[in-house]
Amino acid sequence: MKIALLLHNAYGIGGTIRTTMNLAAALADRHDVEIVSMMRHRQTPRFALDPRVRLVPLVDTRPDGEDAKDPLFSQASQDFPAAEKRHHQYSRLIDTRVAAYLRGCPADVIIGTRPGVNVYISRFAPRRALRIAQEHLRHDAHSKKLRAELASHYRALDAVVTTTEADAAVYRAKMPMPGVRTLAIPNSVPEPAVAPSEGTAPVIAAAGRLVPGKRFDLLIDAFATVAEKYPDWQLRIYGGGAEKERLAARIERLGLTGSAELMGSRSPIEAEFAKASLVAVASDAESFGMTIVEAMRCGVPVVSTDCPLGPGEIIQDGVTGRLVPTGDEQALANALMDLIADAPGRRAMGAAALERSRAYDPAPIAQRYDRLFTELEASRFARSWERGRATTRTRLGRLARRLGVSPGRRRAPAARKEASA
C-alpha cells in the first residue's frame, strides 16, 4: 500500500513533525511511505528521517531560492483556510503545487496533519484514496470560524483521527460527520537511545515552547516553594519562545538564579529527561502531551496539571505520575515535594511509567492505523450510504422549512381541506 503523509513543514521542530516521522518509519515496515512537506526553509530536516521514507518538499520558501522568483510566491493563498493561524505562511504557489500533487497522487491513503492541510486534502485529493485528517490540536482550540469551515470539508473525508479519546468525543458531539469515522489514536514515541533515569539526581525537568499556555510562570512559582524546603534541587526548563525574557526576570525576582535555569532548546529531549528524577507539566491545556510520554519512556514520573485533554489519558494518578488541578500553584508544589521526599516511591513510579510508556511504541500505533485502513476500505459503501441518507435528510429539512412545514408533518391535501370545511 502507498501512503502519503502531508506536513506543514517537515524541516522545522515540533511535536507534530516528530510524531509524523515516527509513524512514517513504523508504517514503512509494511508500506511504501512518503512525507510531503508543504514548504521547506532549510536544506535538510532537523529530525532524522528513516531512509525508507521519501521526503517531498513542494515549495522552497528561502528568499534566495528559485521559488521566490515565481509571481505566485508573493500572492496570498486562496485555498488554505483564512481562519487557520498559519494562513500568512501560505501562498498561491503552495496552493497550486499542493493541488497538482494531490490530483496526481497515486497513494492509497493520504493523511493530513493540520487543519489547513486537511482542507487541501478535502478539496483536491482523489476520492479513490482513503482521505484521513489528523487533529493534533483540540477541537475547542480552533476558532468558531475555523470550525465552521472545517466541518464542511471534514464531512467529505473518510476519517478524522484525534490524539485523545476526550477530543474524539468532542468532535462526535459538536461536529457530527455522517459516514466519517471519528476516533482517537495517540501519538507514538519510540524507545529513546539513552538508559532510563536512575531517579536519584536532584533535578526537576520541564520542556516545551515558552508561551503563556504552557504556564512555566506557574511552575517557577511552585518551584520557589520547593526550593525553600529542598534547596539542593534544581529546575531545568528546556525550550525557546516569546516568554523567555519574562521567565528569566521571574527567576531572578524570586531569587532562584542558579537553581532554576532556562536551558534553551534540546532535540532529542530524552537525553535531558534521563538526567532528571522528575518532569513537571504546568500547562493550561494539552492536546496530547508528547513531553509526558517522552519522560515516561525515560523512566521518569511526571507531575502534571490535569488539564484538557491529554494528561489524564496518559498518567495514572499515583501510579505512573501525579495529576494536580490546573492552575493550582500550591498543589503542584506539594506533589513535587511529596515525590522528592519519597525516593523509593518516586523510583517505583518511574518504573511503572516506563512500563506504561511501551503502549506508545510506534509499532502498535502503526498497527492501529493499519486496522483503520482496512476498516475504512471495507466500509466504503456503507459509509457512502450513511452520508447520502444524511444529505437527503438535510435537504428535505431545508425544503420543509421553506414550505412552512414542521419536521415530521405533511401538508394536508387541498381536497381534504375543502372537505373538512
pLDDT tens across 296-350, in order? 999 999 999 999 999 999 999 999 999 999 999 999 999 999 999 999 999 999 9
The grid coordinates of residue 84 equal 487557520
The grid coordinates of residue 111 equal 493523511
Please give the average per-residue pLDDT across 112-137, as a whole number. 97
259, 231 Cβ separation under 8 angstroms: yes
Q: Is the pTM of this model over 0.85?
A: yes
Euclidean distance between CA atoms 101 and 113, whole angstroms: 16
Query: What's the CA dihedral at 310, 311, 313, 315 to 10 degrees?
Result: 160
Using pLDDT thresholds of 50, 70 and 90, give the confidence band for residue 408. Answer: low
Q: Specify the DSSP class assigned to residue 336.
A: H
Q: In sequence order, what are the residues at sequence separation of 6 or more whose Cβ sits closer than 8 angstroms to the Cβ of residue 297?
A: 189, 190, 191, 192, 270, 354, 357, 360
Nearest to 38, CA basis, from 124, 141, 143: 124
Q: Which residue ranges make up each domain of the chain? A: 2-184, 203-360, 379-420
Burial of 68 (0-12, 13-18, 19+ CB in 10 A): middle
| 171-176: long-range pairs with CB below 8 Å, 24+ | 171/135, 171/139, 174/139, 174/147, 175/139, 175/147, 175/150, 175/151
Please tell me which residue, 392 or 107, carries the higher pLDDT value. Answer: 107
State phi, psi for 181 to the nearest 5 degrees. -75, 120
Using pLDDT thresholds of 50, 70 and 90, give the confidence band for residue 214. Answer: very high
2-184 domain in CATH 3.40.50.2000? yes
Angle between helices 343-357 and 329-341 (to 10 degrees): 100
Q: Give the angle 70-74-79 at the CA atoms, nearest 5°.
A: 100
Using pLDDT thresholds of 50, 70 and 90, give the confidence band for residue 32. Answer: very high
Taking 50 as the threshold, does the pLDDT of residue 414 lie above it? no
The grid coordinates of residue 149 equal 469551515
The CATH class given to the 203-360 domain equals alpha beta
